A and B are shown apart, each in its own frame.
Chain A
Amino acid sequence: MSEILNVQKAKERIDRIEDILASVAAGDLDARIQSDIEDDFTGIEAAIDLLINDLTEELRQREKMQKELENKLSKIQEQQKTILQQQEDLLELSSPVSKVWDNILILPVIGTLDSQRTQVMMENLLQKIVDTGCTISILDITGVPTVDTQVANHLLKTVTAARLLGAECIISGISPAIAQTIVHLGIDLSAIRTKATLQDAMIFAMKQNKRADEIRTLSHIVIPNEKPD
């Protein structure tokens, strides 16, 4: 009789353990067996409780770390965004085109040129030419230490594109190093007007301006006289 009772009791205890394990598995980490009865099961129950404790601790720590990682990730992503934005800004800022005189634009280039930068430079310059209607632009490369084939080609392209728009592009401030590189690379710059310094380029541009003015007044005088009928 007592044996049957014991078996029934044991069944109940096992059921309880199962219930607790099930609820822990379902996510309820506060559930503990915590039995008061002292018998053969006590050791097992205590061990299971301990295991659940350990598991809870581990899970909490993992959650904390995950949160930290997520925070760091979002911070890094934000920084990345800022860096990209600043890079774009820098590209824009690094090629300012300004109108310095009637009909004259200047694009001073400072620092090393790469393909991307020259591309942006070219687009900026051409857009500005169209916007302002200036027919002479000066590309001053005094502040450029060296050029490679690609960059020299890009400069050539810029000048040609400006010509296609109907504007003249003068390159000034070619340093000895750049002159050497360009000639060694076999790039033909003879079709392009180059001036020693920005000052020379400016003087040339203003002379060009004056000549255009003279032609304009001349044509206004001559054309009516040419029509006797």
Chain B
Amino acid sequence: MDFHEKRIPIIKIHDYLIVSIQVDMHDKLAIQLQSQILEEIARTRAKGVLIDISVLEMVDSFIGRMLSGMASMAAIMDTSVVIVGMQPAVAITLVELGLEMPGVDTALNMEKGMEMLESRLNNRKQDFF
């Protein structure tokens, strides 16, 4: 199986990157996605990343750690990451696994995630002026 066939698209809209995960994640794909997103952040100078996991029905500890790791990595690169659309079952699994993902922002859906990023960006701009 060729991983390049299964690349997860990263879409840039204004200052944001939108990543919609629509396939079942396996470990290699997760690692690949992580570096892919970080490279894309550096290349586009995005201010925020929205990761939509609403179709994911299973998140194991590896993917969970990957997601929270990515949030902290992006934070060092001065970009905020918002994870949107987590399923209740996934949330319960993560909490049972003890992966409470501190420091990761979450939103119910893409719209609310976008609002969250916008308000954050605005705060930054207001601080500047």
Q: Could you list which residues of chain A lie within 8 angstroms of chain B, going by C-beta atoms? A: 122-123, 126-127, 129-130, 133, 135, 157, 160-167, 212, 215-216, 218-219, 222-223, 226
Q: Are B84 and A222 in contact (CB under 8 A)?
A: no
Contacts of B106 in A (CB 8 A): 163-166
Q: Are A166 and B84 in contact (CB under 8 A)?
A: yes
Instruction: Please give the distance in Å from B38's CB to the nearest CB on chain A.
Output: 22
Q: Are A167 and B108 in contact (CB under 8 A)?
A: yes
Q: How far is the CA of A161 from the CA of B106 in the complex (A)?
A: 11
Q: Are B95 and A164 in contact (CB under 8 A)?
A: yes
Q: How far is the CA of A129 from the CA of B85 in the complex (A)?
A: 11
Stretch from B5-13, B28-36, B71-79, B114-122 at the A interface? B114-122
Q: Chain A's interface: helix, strand, loop or mixed, by majority?
A: helix
Q: Are A166 and B115 in contact (CB under 8 A)?
A: no
Closest to A158 in B: B95
Q: Are A161 and B115 in contact (CB under 8 A)?
A: no
Closest to A227 in B: B14
Q: How far is the CA of A166 from the CA of B96 in the complex (A)?
A: 17
Instruction: Please give the distance in Å from B45's CB to the nearest CB on chain A.
Output: 16
Q: How far is the CA of A162 from the CA of B86 in the complex (A)?
A: 10
Question: With A135-B112, A164-B101, A222-B125 given, is the CB distance from A123 to B107 under 8 Å?
Answer: no
Q: How far is the CA of A218 from the CA of B122 in the complex (A)?
A: 8
* B90-119 at interface with A (beta carbon < 8 Å): 90-92, 94-96, 100-101, 106-109, 112-113, 115, 118-119
Q: Are A166 and B112 in contact (CB under 8 A)?
A: yes
Instruction: Please give the distance in Å from A164's CB to the nearest CB on chain B.
Output: 4
